[in-house]
Amino acid sequence: MTKMTGALSLATSRVALMNASGDMVKMFAKFEVAEQEPIADILMSMTMDKAQGALKVPTDAEVEAMLDATGKEMVTKLKAMKGADFDKAYLMGQLDGHKKLLTIQEDYLKVGQNVNT
C-alpha cells in the first residue's frame, strides 16, 4: 500500500512540475518528487537481495506500474488540467494521499513485523 500510494504522489507531482500554475504549488511538487523518488527506489529494491548503492530514479513506466486503476485515472485526469483547477485538484490529491500514508504507517506500527521475516 505504501508503494502504491507513494507512487501516485510521485506520478502526480511529476505532472505538477509541468502543469501547476502557482509558484508554491510548483515548489511543493519539486519537494515531493525529491522525497518520493528515493522512497520508490528503496521500496523497489526491497525485492532484490541487496541495495544497489546509488539512487536509481524510477522511470515514469515503473511508477505507472505501481499504480492501481484509480491512480492511473487520477494521473490521466491531472494531465488534462491546467491553471488553478489543476493546482486545487493536485493539492487535494496530495492531502488525501498523505492522510492515507499516515494511516498505512500507523496501522503497520500497531502490528509491524520485520519485512525480512
Residue 7: all three cell numbers together: 507512487
pTM of the full predicted structure? 0.83
- Residue 112 has what pLDDT? 64
End-to-end C-alpha distance for the chain, whole angstroms? 19
Half-sphere exposure (Cβ direction) of 65: Cα atoms closer than 13 Å: 7
Distance (Å, rounded) from C-alpha 109 to C-alpha 50? 24
100 φ, ψ to 5°?
Answer: -65, -45
Residues of the chain scoring pLDDT < 50: 117
pLDDT computed for residue 47 by the predictor: 67
The whole-angstrom distance between residue 36's C-alpha and the CA centroid of its chain comes to 6
Q: Helix, strand or coil for residue 61?
A: helix
Give the per-residue pLDDT at 52: 63
What are the residue boundaries of the structural domains of the chain, listed by start?
2-111
pLDDT at 23: 96
